[in-house]
A and B are shown apart, each in its own frame.
Chain A
């Protein structure tokens, strides 16, 4: 009779797999799961300090009700963040890909030089970037307006005009993060099969055709991963807004993270700030799952066609 029971060796292997995974699981629980569960729990409370002791009052879904019924600034931030993410990431993807193509086709000397130049913004600390661009975009003494004056053009209030303040912040973000996209795209281009590219060069009539029909499809996995990275990071935008405009004028440059920071830290509304954080976390997770699902479905369709 053949037993279905796992052998001693199999049991030992399974045990060993479980034990070897334990440190990673423990780290995940301590560093990721616990903070999120704690955040979720806090979102159902109102926390006050009396006589140097914290007093937790259970308020159920009140914080969420308030967030969805009376809150204004946070939702302005959501709208701006979504616009920010779509605009900034689209520009970064196009620019980063173009820069990577330019470097890929350049000679070895030009390649080293261009890579160095293109990567410069990403090595500058965010605090320096904010300060630097605030000085450049200052209405009275900023470099940008000095250059405009040389051209006989009037000064522009880059950060003080509510109609263009968000565009100015997006511009700084594009400047800051395009090198990141460039780097990943360059790595993707470098890993493409040289023979396929060579064959494409002979089979296509123009460079545009080659890029559109051969390079882009082959680069799709890299593009999707980079896009996901950038969307997630752009939802986390904080330092540029904090240093350039502090969310103003009005709510012209308000973003989600700035609202959470103000609520959580400045106003010390721990419960309400947690509810904002949970809603944001949930929304970003949904976006990522949807994006991944779409990408996988598309890949499946493509493999079926081929």
Chain B
């Protein structure tokens, strides 16, 4: 068969093909690098690998680059402060723990996402964890109507963990109220095989862990009563009931020395089967289901936290929100938002859960995960996430938390009665608020 392509035209054809290939490759490269590379400051937590998997997926899918600067939890806040307080930031995204959100938001370090991309809002289905993604600069607190400051990247709320083997043996049901939880704990403790309930009452984390007890009793630490005004209500009769419940659970049905039990000890007791119930962050799930680190793989389940006397449920928000600093160039800010928006989409969040992460959406169900038993926590997680609360929603949260922590811890170790502890906590909290410009009213001592 005669060829219609002459040697000349064949050469031309080859040249044309080569040119077309180069142009196509160039276009591809341009597409692959549609966003400049970005750097993110992130913590070295158990869920880090799942986030790294998502970054890999993003880079593969889009060709954009995301560099992670991984730092242990203890040093991350200082790194973030150093970066966002400088004239030019080192990080295009900073991963902010819920405990630090008010400080970082109120300092004006982050660009509202609506400024990065006009009209940007969180994708539907993404959780706000008690409106902690939004900041009302005027009122100096979190508020749904405030500016959107970040996208959650890990929804670390508290859940109630329980050992299903022990529950089955004793014929127990997941508790719906604090009284039921206490009854379960005492039944398990009396049986003598495991501690009925493992409290997390070490001084550094006690305020965070007392928060669900307090809020489910329809109490609070303080309430904003208008611009620059605050009512300290931590020593209310409802709060007293909450602290009595907390102390009772910590001292009557758990291991001795609860005043020094931190998250590490709590997970250790659950993972070895020595603790039957505990309230802890959902991020602990991975460790409890890890055959190399746990003796209770497949024997732990999660539930909604118990309700207070009026049926109120509260779970402390311990999530992470990724913010975009003001002090990075606009093109980097846009690239950062492109990544965060990609990450929050439902299909990516399903992948994130499969990789071991905690989703930031409330619309992921067991069915989305193929009803795999490994993800049986998802229902309890979504329920608790809907009840997430921030106990101290103002800029000096860390100072206020430390001020009250000592009294609460002393109540647990028996150095103070619950009423004395709450009166002292109220006085200390009022001091912090007054020093920071609030006009404070306080309840009479209990």
In-complex Cβ contact of B406 among A157, A245, A250, A269 (8 A):
A250
Within 8 A of B (CB), among A136-157: 138-141, 157
Given the known inter-chain contacts A161-B257, A162-B259, A250-B203, please indicate yes or no for A140 contacting B410, CB distance below 8 A.
no
B255 lies within 8 A of A139 (CB): yes
Kindly list chain A residues whose C-beta atoms are within 8 Å of the C-beta of B202. Answer: 246, 248-249
CA distance A218 to B327 in the complex (A): 63
Q: Which residue of B lies closest to A52 (CB)?
A: B108
Within 8 A of A (CB), among B30-87: 77-78, 81, 84-85
Q: Which residue of A lies closest to B81 (CB)?
A: A268
A266 lies within 8 A of B109 (CB): no
CA distance A253 to B81 in the complex (A): 29
CA distance A247 to B256 in the complex (A): 18
Flag whether A203 is at the interface (Cβ < 8 A).
no
Chain A, 27-54, contact with B by CB distance < 8 Å: what is the 0/1 string? 0000000000000000000000111111
Least distance between B404 CB and chain A CB atoms (Å): 12
Kindly list chain B residues whose C-beta atoms are within 8 Å of the C-beta of A53. Answer: 108
Flag whether B323 is at the interface (Cβ < 8 A).
no
B203 lies within 8 A of A249 (CB): yes
Flag whether B237 is at the interface (Cβ < 8 A).
no
Kindly list chain A residues whose C-beta atoms are within 8 Å of the C-beta of B406. Answer: 72-73, 250-251
In-complex Cβ contact of B409 among A49, A159, A249 (8 A):
A249
CA distance A155 to B261 in the complex (A): 16
Least distance between B203 CB and chain A CB atoms (Å): 4
A52 lies within 8 A of B203 (CB): no
A141 lies within 8 A of B256 (CB): no
CA distance A51 to B108 in the complex (A): 4
**Which of B9-17, B163-171, B218-226, B262-270 lines the interface with chain A?**
B262-270
Within 8 A of A (CB), among B249-281: 255-262, 265, 268-269, 272, 274
Kindly list chain A residues whose C-beta atoms are within 8 Å of the C-beta of B413. Answer: 162, 249-250
Given the known inter-chain contacts A140-B269, A267-B402, please indicate yes or no for A247 contacting B203, CB distance below 8 A.
yes
Flag whether B415 is at the interface (Cβ < 8 A).
yes
Kindly list chain A residues whose C-beta atoms are within 8 Å of the C-beta of B107. Answer: 49-50, 52
B399 lies within 8 A of A267 (CB): yes
Flag whether A70 is at the interface (Cβ < 8 A).
yes
Do most interface residues of chain A lie in helix, strand or loop, or is the interface mixed? loop
Flag whether A165 is at the interface (Cβ < 8 A).
yes
Flag whether A160 is at the interface (Cβ < 8 A).
yes
Q: Which residue of B lies closest to A253 (CB)?
A: B260
A245 lies within 8 A of B431 (CB): no
A50 lies within 8 A of B257 (CB): no
Least distance between B197 CB and chain A CB atoms (Å): 15
Do most interface residues of chain B lie in helix, strand or loop, or is the interface mixed? helix
A140 lies within 8 A of B85 (CB): no
Kindly list chain A residues whose C-beta atoms are within 8 Å of the C-beta of B77. Answer: 265-266
B259 lies within 8 A of A249 (CB): yes
Given the known inter-chain contacts A248-B203, A265-B78, A267-B398, please indicate yes or no for A49 contacting B85, CB distance below 8 A.
yes
Q: What interface size band does chain A fall in? A: 20 to 34
Chain A, 246-263, contact with B by CB distance < 8 Å: what is the 0/1 string? 111111000000000010
In-complex Cβ contact of B402 among A160, A249, A250, A262 (8 A):
A262
CA distance A4 to B49 in the complex (A): 79
CA distance A140 to B255 in the complex (A): 9
B259 lies within 8 A of A248 (CB): yes
Least distance between A15 CB and chain B CB atoms (Å): 42
Flag whether B363 is at the interface (Cβ < 8 A).
no
Given the known inter-chain contacts A52-B326, A251-B406, A265-B78, please indicate yes or no for A160 contacting B103, CB distance below 8 A.
no
Kindly list chain B residues whose C-beta atoms are within 8 Å of the C-beta of A52. Answer: 84-85, 107-109, 326-327
CA distance A52 to B106 in the complex (A): 9
CA distance A53 to B106 in the complex (A): 11
Kindly list chain B residues whose C-beta atoms are within 8 Å of the C-beta of A249. Answer: 202-203, 257, 259-260, 409, 412-413
Kindly list chain A residues whose C-beta atoms are within 8 Å of the C-beta of B106. Answer: 49-50
A268 lies within 8 A of B262 (CB): no
Within 8 A of A (CB), among B305-319: none
The CB with the most chain B CB atoms within 10 A, among A54, A157, A165, A267, is that of: A267
**Could you list 5 A-B pairs, sorted by A, with CB under 8 Å?**
A70-B431, A160-B258, A246-B204, A249-B257, A269-B399
5 tightest CB-CB pairs across the interface, nearest first? A160-B257, A249-B259, A49-B107, A160-B260, A157-B257
